[in-house]
Amino acid sequence: MNTFVSSLWISLISMGLVFISLLLLAWLMSLMTSIFRDRAPAAQAPAVSAPAPTGDDDKPRAAALAVAVALAEQAQSSARPLVSPEPTIIGAWQLGMRTRQMTQKGEMRRRQ
């Protein structure tokens, strides 16, 4: 019974160390993130703003632009559909030799 209690204490201590180390690592990562974060002053931050939509005329123009971009990308694409090769018919001699080689390799693995 003494070894059982000892093993429980060892398991409890080791699990506690694992969880404490995980919490310590998480705390160190958050500390390093807060220290080394890139902070740009508000005055130097680039102000990028998109122009506000002026009316319903923007939606058809955006759709036309999207179609034009898609067609241009499709025209530049060099991808072609994959064509699967025709299956080759092997002779009985070749099939017998391959089977013998596979059997020999299997026997070698079993011996090791």
Judge whether 27 lies within some domain: yes
**Residue 14 domain flag:** yes
* Per-residue pLDDT at 43: 55
**For residue 111, what pLDDT is reported?**
61
Range of the domain at 14: 1-36
User: Is residue 7 situated within a structural domain?
Assistant: yes
Residue 51 in domain: no
In a domain, 1, yes or no: yes
Residue 52 lies in a domain: no
The pLDDT, as a whole number, for residue 83 is 81
Number of domains in the chain: 1
Residue indicated by tokens 């391959």: 98
pLDDT (0 to 100) of residue 8:
94
Q: What is the pLDDT of residue 22?
A: 97
Q: 60 phi and psi, to 5 degrees?
A: -65, -35
CA distance 17 to 11: 10
Note the pLDDT of residue 88. Answer: 81
Dihedral over alpha carbons 103, 108, 109, 112 (to 10 degrees) = 160
Residue 12 is assigned to a structural domain of this protein: yes
Q: From the first residue on, what is the mean pLDDT of each consecutive set of 10 residues in the chain (112 residues)?
A: 91 97 96 82 53 68 89 78 80 90 79 60
Residue 5 lies inside a defined structural domain of this protein: yes
Say whether pTM exceeds 0.85: no
Longest dimension (CA), the chain: 83
* Rg (the chain; Cα; Å): 34
